[in-house]
Amino acid sequence: MGITPADLVAESSAPTFGEVVAKVRTTLTPGTLRIYDTHLSWIASHRTRRNSRIAKGISVSKPAWSAGHYCHRCGYGFWPYPIAPGVPARQAITPENFRRIVWSSGGYANL
């Protein structure tokens, strides 16, 4: 008993996520199904919160990203003029720190 990979794959195309979920649900006992549904709803709500937080921050972080420049010769990024308090202008910044500053300005650095 159980699901084999052959049960999930149609001959013509790969299954969609909804088809896989429906197939898995048919094989679960009521108690396991309840746990499965709880996990799916948690994952969906977590993704929704994360995506909405990123969407809200894009309008704030986009100007910081657009104002920055990257030097391919030295491999560092910089801002030619101050864009916000605490953001170093005219200083070489590693790509990791550049990304951290942009993500922090948008409020999604710790996601």
For residue 65, the model assigns a pLDDT of 92
Answer whether residue 78 shows pLDDT above 90: yes
Answer whether residue 2 shows pLDDT above 60: yes
Q: Whole-model pTM above 0.75?
A: no
27-36: per-residue pLDDT in tens?
878 888 788 7
Q: What share of the chain is helix, strand, coil (3-state, %, to 5)?
A: 60, 5, 35
22-61: per-residue pLDDT in tens?
888 788 788 887 887 888 888 888 888 888 888 888 988 8
| C-alpha span between 58 and 96 (Å, rounded) | 18
| C-alpha span between 74 and 55 (Å, rounded) | 32
